Amino acid sequence: MPNLQIDPVDGVDDLFCSYPTQGTVQPCHLSLSLDTGEMGCDYDPEVGGSSYPMEVHRRVVLWVPIPCLTANAANALMEAATPLAQRILADSAVEWDGNNDVGVMYGDAQVALQKLTELCDPQNGDWDELQLVVPMAADAWFETEGTAGVAARLRITAETTDAELGQLEEAEEASAAVIGPYGHTVLVGALAYLTQIRTDLAEAAGSPDA
């Protein structure tokens, strides 16, 4: 039986991932390795979260769905999950099935996994908003100002550089992170929004009617 080793989450929004080409946030999970005893929380790096690593498919590593949590909430969840994780490790093994190493869970491990799944369930109603990382679209963040207001406040012109837009994006993300009743807000799509403002200004400057 491997010893349980908890890998803590460091950054407040480390579990948040939204790829530019996707309209959704990547699903998150608590993982437990039956081989090494490592337990951690992360997001699924596969676009759309539609496939699993082979070690998860073979249940050598268990993935249990969780909400997109702040670092403090994820670490508190793993602390609460520790007794169940220890029961799973104590009553499971990684065995050769003739083709591959696979995870095998016996009676109490299966019961503990069910309880762990219930504890982590994103839909169980036990999550406080302050524990969550939530996305905010740039359109919603800048809505009250409109593009003209944003350009004026941030002093965006047709000559604003990519580096300057990047700095503005970082500043807006930092502002969004501390608003509202949520644990942590992540601004999504800000750079594309600000870049479009620059493009529109450049096109207007080059127009014969400008």
- Residue ranges per structural domain of the chain: 5-130, 133-206
Lowest mean pLDDT: which of 65-79, 98-112, 195-209?
A: 195-209
Q: What is the mean pLDDT of the chain?
A: 91
Per-residue pLDDT for 48 more than 50? yes
- Name the percent of the chain in helix, strand, coil, to the closest 5: 40, 20, 40
Per-residue pLDDT for 133 more than 50? yes
Lowest mean pLDDT: which of 17-21, 60-64, 66-70, 185-189?
A: 17-21
CA atoms of 150 and 143, how far apart (whole Å): 9
Cα 86 → chain centroid: 26
What is the mean predicted confidence (pLDDT) over 28-55? 91
pLDDT tens, 160-186?
A: 999 999 999 999 988 888 765 666 889
CA separation (Å) from 20 to 61, 92, 125, 152, 202? 28, 40, 29, 26, 24
H helix or E strand, kind and range, residue 139? helix 138-141
- Residues above pLDDT 90, as percent of the chain: 75
Give all strands (DSSP E) within 13-88, no chain letters: 28-33, 38-43, 61-66
**What is the value of pTM for the model shown?**
0.83
> In the Cβ-directed half-sphere of 160, how many Cα atoms lie within 13 Å?
23
With CA atoms as reference, report the closest residue to 194 among 120, 129, 144, 142: 142
Q: Of the ranges 12-21, 41-50, 142-151, 180-189, which is most confident?
A: 142-151
H helix or E strand, kind and range, residue 94? strand 92-96
Q: Are 62 and 29 in contact (CB under 8 A)?
A: no
What is the mean predicted confidence (pLDDT) over 104-126? 95
Per-residue pLDDT for 195 more than 80? yes
pLDDT tens, 115-124?
A: 999 999 999 8
